[in-house]
Amino acid sequence: MATVFVTRDLPGGGLSRLRAEHDVEVWPERLAPGPAVLRERVAGAEGLLCLLTDTVDAGLIAAAPRLRAISNLAVGCDNVDVAAARARGIPVGHTPDVLTETTADLTLALILAVARRLPEGQAAVRAGEWLTWEPAWLLGRDVHGATLGLVGRGRIGEAVARRAEGFGMTVVHTARRSGVALADLLERADFVSLHCPLTPETRGLIDAEALARMKPTAFLVNTARGPIVDQPALARALHQGAIAGAALDVTEPEPLAPDDALLAAPNLLVLPHVGSATHATRARMADLAVDNLLAGLAGRTLPYEFAGPG
């Protein structure tokens, strides 16, 4: 029986399976353990099940001499120093595929919400500003017939494309081996939706120059990773009316402070990273994360080992 630290309670029955085989400590608080607490709790652990918001860096890994497996409850692993883990022979697991359709649903919801100004409409109703039916009030943009530009067309991007085509949208995309150039996509698209991984090449990809290429009537949607967007540049573009609006499910940092300058920008919808937040998807993610940890602690190959760069 191994000692396992889990950084947050998980939905579904995955933790029960983990507890049946190992000695499991689950962090009981709603907020994540701070860096010092996380290092203390992992110091004697053989297994770690962590979230995207937990920083598992080289220092933490070095301070955990008994650690034999890391399981990350996320598709990406940019919160884990994968290279440091691999140098120690510690496999790193993730939870791919299961959140594809759910995140694609949310992406389309964000497109519809910003196009039709749904947050503004709800706020107007609650504020008592809905006095009559006005032909020129709260006019939005049509989604049908619009061009959607997908920056990256992996599993989630492809799922978004299927939905968009069902709404009568024209879809263009960038990808490593196909599609159009990013500059061309930015100039053509009515909605730019980000679906690329966070890498050194994509960090800050949507910067001031990229935003300047977009139409003043276009919207930016990000359900990928926050650092792909230069947030100060986005705030300036929104304040200046350089683009029509933006909808973000991811930011840098997460969570944003209530007084973050970005939140003062107009025509902006920000969600608290809920792309995979359905009962079924989060429970399935937990199952995959537990499967990874059980395999790693048993000396078996992880069924969903992270194969990205480390």
**Are 151 and 13 part of one and the same domain?**
no
Sheet holding 191-194, edge to edge: 170-174, 147-151, 191-194, 219-222, 245-248, 268-270
What pLDDT score was predicted for residue 60? Answer: 97
Is there a domain that residue 219 lies in? yes
The single residue of 25, 40, 165, 254 carrying the catalytic annotation is: 254
| C-beta separation of 20 from 44 below 8 A | no
Q: Is residue 292 part of a domain?
A: yes
Residues 254-272 pLDDT 10s: 999 999 999 999 999 999 9
Whether 89 and 149 map to the same domain: the answer is: no
Instruction: Answer whether residue 13 shows pLDDT above 70.
Output: yes
Indicate if the pLDDT at residue 310 is higher than 90. no
Tokens of 82: 């994968």
How many structural domains is the chain composed of? 2
304 falls within a domain: no
Q: Do 263 and 128 fall into the same domain?
A: yes
- Our answer to whether residue 225 is catalytic in this structure is yes
Residue 11 has pLDDT above 80, yes or no: yes
Answer yes or no: do 58 and 185 share one domain.
Answer: no
Q: Could you tell me the residue range of the domain that residue 238 belongs to?
A: 100-270
Q: 93 and 109 share a domain?
A: no
User: Does residue 106 register a pLDDT over 90?
Assistant: yes
Report the alpha-carbon distance of residue 275 to residue 277 in Å, rounded.
Answer: 6
Catalytic residue, candidates 68, 173, 225, 282: 225
Residue 8's domain is classified under what CATH number?
3.40.50.720
Asked if residue 306 is part of any domain, the answer here is no
Average pLDDT taken over every residue of the chain: 96
What b/e sequence results for 270-309 when a residue is b if at least 16 CB atoms lie within 10 Å of its CB, and e otherwise? bbebebbbbeebbebbbbbbbbbbbbbbeeeebebebeee
Domain for residue 184, yes or no? yes
Residue by residue, DSSP assigns 33-92 as PPHHHHHHHHTT-SEEEEETTS-B-HHHHHT-TT--EEEEESS--TTB-HHHHHHTT--E
In this structure, the answer to whether residues 89 and 116 fall within a common structural domain is no
215: which 2 tokens? Answer: 């139409």
The verdict on 108 and 84 lying in the same domain is no
pLDDT band at 309 (very low <50, low <70, confident <90, very high): confident
Residue 56 sits in the same domain as residue 83 = yes
Give pLDDT tens digits for 272-303.
999 999 999 999 999 999 999 999 999 999 99
Are residue 68 and residue 117 in the same domain, yes or no?
no
> In this structure, are 106 and 233 located in the same domain?
yes
Q: Could you read off the pLDDT of 135-185 as tens digits, one per residue? A: 999 999 999 999 999 999 999 999 999 999 999 999 999 987 789 999 999
* Maximum Cα interatomic distance, the chain, rounded to a whole number of Å: 68
Q: What is the DSSP letter of 145?
A: T
190 shares its domain with 260 = yes
Residue 35 lies in a domain: yes
Between CA 147 and CA 164 the distance in angstroms is 9
Catalytic, out of 68, 173, 273, 284: 273
Same domain, 32 and 46: yes
**Residue 305 falls inside a structural domain:** no
What one-character DSSP code corresponds to residue 96?
Answer: -
pLDDT in tens, 202-220: 999 999 999 999 999 999 9
H or E element that contains 293: helix 279-297
Helix (H, G, I), strand (E, B) or coil at 144: coil
Question: What are 223's two structure tokens?
Answer: 């359900």
Q: Which H or E element spans position 155? A: helix 155-166
Per the domain annotation, does 310 fall within a domain?
no
